[in-house]
Chain A
Amino acid sequence: MSRYFIRRTLGAIPLLFGVAVLSFIFMQLAPGGPDALFGRLPRMTDERLAQMRANLGLDDPMIVQFGKWLGNLLTGDLGTSYVQHRPVWHVIWDVFPNTVYLVMAGLFIALILSLLFGVIAAKNPYGLFDNVTAFISYFGLAMPVFWLGLMLQILFAVKLGWLPSAGMHSAGETGVADFLEHLILPAFTIAIGSIATWSRYIRASTIEEINADYVRTARAKGMAEPSILSRHVLRNSLTPFITVVAIDIPLYLTGAVLVETVFSWPGMGRLFFDSLNRRDYPVLMGILMLGAVLIVIGNLVADLIYARLDPRISFE
């Protein structure tokens, strides 16, 4: 097991290097740059422009810029943001935990509801419950996030006044209860897309397992239905589902930009989007590398869980 772990970790290094090289090249290929607007600032002279480019290291050839970035990375330095003028590590760390909270809450809601919806629907395919939950989840999937978010805000914050409309804390508050109140709407909004896809996935794989021979055998032995479901069916139908979730998690971390914008949630998605618009290369590289590392870790964890759930899989 540990040899497998080490092998996978070492194998990730060339992968991450490749990601770094490609990210850097693609970023530089995008038109414009962080200095695009400098020359349009009133009364900017060519001399001052050249000095500003030199200070940011933008006058170096691309390969030199990459070399410097990589050298700094090896010493644990992700560089300095061109826009915020402070270390990239600080820029990312300021918002990364918030995105983790949002994603964890979203995942939690999505997992619970999609399991519930998927399994119950599979027990009675094309029944009333199946059709209703299918309708709800596809409706949620089809609604644009910014519209759905706004409707939830209007309903729960303006009309009913039950929940705060946006942000992570009320002005001056830092308590956990206040934080959780703010978390509900964005977490639900971010979850709804996954509920649709995941519940359909679980439904399909559960239907497949529920008709398998070993289930009929279990029933024939007189085993109680709930334990057939939890000990046999789910164990088999959930194994491939682990991979689906593991692949989705990193997407959550970087792809929550719309939810974060609508709900003023301070997170990575907004940071990525803003940095992209302003061509803040050091921050973009930092986020992309963090995303790549998370994907590698997510897949590794998924494989390890796989092995635990399915005795046929062994890494030794």
Chain B
Amino acid sequence: MIRLTPIPGKPIDPASLSTVDSLVQARIDGRLSRRDLIRRAAQLGFAAPVIGVMLHATSDMVNGAPSPGRNRAIARMQDAPILVEGPTAPEGTQVAGGALVVGTTDEPDTLHPALTQLQGSFDVWGAIVKGLLHWDSAMVMQPELATEFSISDDGLSYTFTLREGVTFHNGDPFTAADVMATVDIINNPDFGTYNVYNLDQVAEMSASDDGLTITLSTAEPYAPFLSLIADGPIFPKAEIDKGLESFTTEYGRAPVGAGPLRFVEWAAQQHILLERFDDYWGDPSILDEIRYMIIPDDNTQLVQLRTGEIQLVGGAGAISALRVDEALEIEGVNVLQHSSQAWIHLDLKHVDFLRMTKVRQALDYATPTQQIIDQLMGGRVLPSIGDVPPGSWAFNPDVEPRPYDPDRAKELLEEAGLTFDGNVWSGPTPTPEKDIDPNTDLGGPVKELAIEIWTQAGESHYDLISQAIAQSWSDIGIKVEVKTEDVSTIWGPEGYQFTDAMTAALFAWYNSNDPDDTWYWHSKWIPETPEGSGGNLPAYFFPYNFQAEIDDLTGRAETETDQEARAELYRQAQALLHEEAAVIFLYWDMVFPAVAENVGGFWPSGFTNLFWNAHQWYVTE
């Protein structure tokens, strides 16, 4: 059995360890290096995917864990907001009990962990419904409803020891039956969940007779299995047994879980009220209640922080980078800062000229990325050169962003065979077939270089950024039109990816706990139809001119379990994506929570939900 709570000890001789559990435990206890774990496991003859499973169990295989590189990158930024390095710890005496009002700009759609699509919902249900394990803000997996787990030596079966004496908010005791009912409902096609939390990978499950352990098995060794389990919920069986209709329509408005806070009420468009659950298995919530106030307008949000009507914002309701300066002026309120997993970029649909490396490079040179970061975003975001955040073990520090250089951009357009007639760039386009080299095979019709930039309505900084890029591109003679559309339009079958124009789209992709990025680049995730699924949208009409190379790199990295080898593959992928200017990488978002000076225990991060430790929040006098 594996304890997630480390009991540190002296370094251990790897040769004395021979099972998955013992290796994982030694690593968690800090008695074994990651490298020794991998080496010893390989000596023992464990298959590569099994080693991958082990590294997930030790929280080694995670993206964006705090590291010196990341901290240095962040230190370069303006230092006004306070960098989150742990829970807030105000001076003064801690008050027993008390209430806190949290503000958000987005009302949750539903608090159903399986049906919500909004971050704000994850923020809130994170305190109500807990799972077997959970992530903390240091990106370390922690025990919750399971106290320990073990992994079979073939890497297929996970046996969890369930915590005894856990009670759900409805009074039912927590048993293995609840875990099994949760797995079943998630996999029930009639339920049709959006969020499966890797439970769709469960091929078999069985519980011990005493109901205190449960074994979940996957069909293949599947490395990220635990990562998402740790994000997922366990539902009380009684709630599921009320029937599909009730579980779909009612549970999400009044969720029942085993978390430290209990759902009390949800007044539509006003607030969601949570209160301390006295029968929580661990230390009960310090606060008596937490009220999640819905304040759709971000001006109003700042006004209410100022008047003290709300005392904390974060997660989905964090202060936007454009408003940090205003928030910093509010007395008695600290503005915090932590990294996020969101990378903002300009997608380039690979059609016509945009299939050509030099044209895309020209667009990158013609984009004033640093000015956008400094002037429009107030220097409060991190420049990006790829899809792996600075500080991650898979980040490539050797890739330099292209400077803003309009003359170089014009040269590159000329080298690509385009000519400028004083009004517009035009030239022959690549032959409109899939299996050609678009850089040399220019058998397509002569066209003008005219690009539509699509952006999401209601995001004021996206408006500013796309206008700035459009202006810079126009300055070198490219015809640009900015189109602002709502989310449903952009991502629907009439979206930018599926029109026949040359389009660019400004938006953010959100990474998860693992640097696996096949979803964005691999040919297996090119949608088959505009209605189909898939994340590799730019390659819908024509594959990338570097599709074979990126398939190879990301595909191998997805299955490689030696972390150093894997990191090398991701570094190569970042270099390739940058060289080819596959998309125009702009920046990594930062998140700015704000909290009244007398609130303690608040510890937000981009790795878990806002309320993950809400029971440890307190106020001081």
Give me the interface of A with B, judged by CB distance under 8 Å. 30-34, 36-46, 48-49, 51-52, 54-56, 80, 83-87, 91, 94-95, 98, 146, 150, 153-154, 157-158, 161, 164-172, 261-267, 270-271, 274, 276-279
Contact = CB atoms under 8 A, between A and B. Distances in A.
A265 B306 CA distance: 19
Interface of B: 99, 101, 107, 109-110, 112, 115, 117, 189-192, 194, 248-250, 252-253, 267-271, 291, 293-297, 299-300, 303-304, 306-307, 309, 458, 485-495, 512, 519, 527-528, 531-535
A112 B306 CA distance: 34
A85 B249 contact: yes
A238 to B, nearest CB: 36
26 contacts: A31-B493, A32-B494, A36-B490, A36-B493, A38-B194, A38-B533, A42-B519, A54-B192, A55-B191, A56-B192, A83-B109, A86-B253, A91-B268, A95-B269, A98-B269, A146-B299, A165-B307, A166-B295, A166-B300, A166-B304, A166-B309, A167-B270, A170-B309, A266-B269, A270-B269, A278-B487
Contact of B110 (A42, A84, A171, A172): A84
A264 B488 contact: no
A55 B192 contact: yes
A95 B294 contact: no
B109 A42 contact: no
Given A38-B533, A42-B519, A165-B309, A266 B489 contact: no
Nearest to B511: A42
A37 B299 contact: no
B99 A172 contact: yes
B532 A39 contact: yes
B115 A264 contact: no
Contacts of A44: 533
Contacts of A84: 109-110, 252-253
Contacts of A42: 512, 519, 535
A206 to B, nearest CB: 38
Contact of B294 (A37, A157, A172, A264): A264
B249 A36 contact: no
A32 B194 contact: no
Given A32-B494, A33-B492, A55-B192, A49 B99 contact: no
Nearest to B189: A51
Nearest to B529: A46
A52 B269 CA distance: 27
Contact of B117 (A37, A172, A267): A37
Contacts of B309: 164-167, 170-171
A278 B492 CA distance: 11
Given A165-B303, A277-B487, A146 B297 contact: yes
A246 B68 CA distance: 66
Given A86-B249, A171-B293, A32 B269 contact: no
B388 to A, nearest CB: 16
Question: Of B295, B299, B494, which is in contact with the most chain A CB atoms at under 10 Å from its CB?
Answer: B299
B525 to A, nearest CB: 8
A246 B307 CA distance: 38
Given A31-B495, A41-B533, A264-B300, 17 more contacts: A30-B488, A31-B492, A32-B487, A32-B488, A32-B491, A32-B492, A36-B492, A39-B491, A39-B531, A40-B491, A48-B192, A84-B253, A86-B250, A165-B304, A172-B291, A264-B296, A266-B270
* Chain B, interface SS category: loop
B533 A49 contact: yes
Q: Which of the listed residues B115, B291, B492 has the most CB atoms from chain A within 10 Å of its own CB?
A: B492
The 6 closest A-B pairs by CB, nearest first: A32-B492, A266-B269, A32-B488, A94-B268, A31-B494, A36-B492
A43 B107 CA distance: 26
B527 A39 contact: yes
Nearest to B200: A48
B278 to A, nearest CB: 20
Given A165-B307, A262-B299, A267-B269, A277 B488 contact: yes
Contact of A266 (B191, B267, B487): B267
Contacts of A37: 117, 487-488, 491
B299 A150 contact: yes
A168 B191 CA distance: 36
A264 B297 CA distance: 7
A261 B492 contact: no
Given A36-B487, A37-B487, A264 B295 contact: yes
Contact of B488 (A48, A265, A279): A279
Contact of B291 (A56, A87, A171, A261): A171
Contacts of B531: 39, 49
A85 B71 CA distance: 42
A49 B303 contact: no
Contacts of A38: 194, 533
Nearest to B192: A55
Contacts of A49: 531-533
A46 B268 contact: no
Contacts of B194: 38, 41, 52
A36 B300 contact: no
A32 B297 contact: no
B488 A46 contact: no
Given A31-B494, A55-B190, A164-B309, A277 B486 contact: yes
Given A165-B309, A166-B300, A270-B296, A85 B101 contact: no
Nearest to B266: A94
Nearest to B253: A86
A139 B487 CA distance: 35
B249 A51 contact: no
A151 B191 CA distance: 47
A161 B107 CA distance: 27
Contacts of A158: 303, 306-307
Nearest to B269: A266
Most chain B CB inside 10 Å of its own CB: which residue of A84, A87, A98, A265:
A84
A278 B107 CA distance: 13
Given A32-B488, A264-B296, A85 B192 contact: no
A80 B487 contact: no
A31 B498 CA distance: 12
B534 to A, nearest CB: 7
A36 B488 contact: yes
Most B C-beta atoms less than 10 A away, residue of A54, A164, A171, A263:
A171
B488 A263 contact: no
Given A55-B190, A157-B303, A158-B303, A46 B532 contact: yes
Contacts of A157: 303, 307
A55 B115 CA distance: 13
A169 B252 contact: no
Contacts of B267: 94, 266
Contacts of A276: 486
Contacts of A95: 268-269
Contacts of B99: 171-172
Given A31-B489, A84-B252, A264-B295, A153 B303 contact: yes
Most central of A54, A94, A169, A170 by chain B CB within 10 Å:
A94
B519 A262 contact: no
B205 to A, nearest CB: 20
Nearest to B196: A48
A181 B291 CA distance: 20
A274 B487 CA distance: 11
Contacts of A85: 109-110, 112, 115, 248-249, 252
A274 B269 CA distance: 11
Contact of B300 (A54, A55, A153, A279): A153
Contacts of B488: 30-34, 36-37, 277-279
B494 A45 contact: no
A149 to B, nearest CB: 8
Contacts of B489: 30-32, 36
A221 B492 CA distance: 73
**Which one of A37, A54, A166 has the highest number of Cβ atoms from chain B below 10 Å of its Cβ?**
A166
B111 to A, nearest CB: 10
Contacts of B271: 171
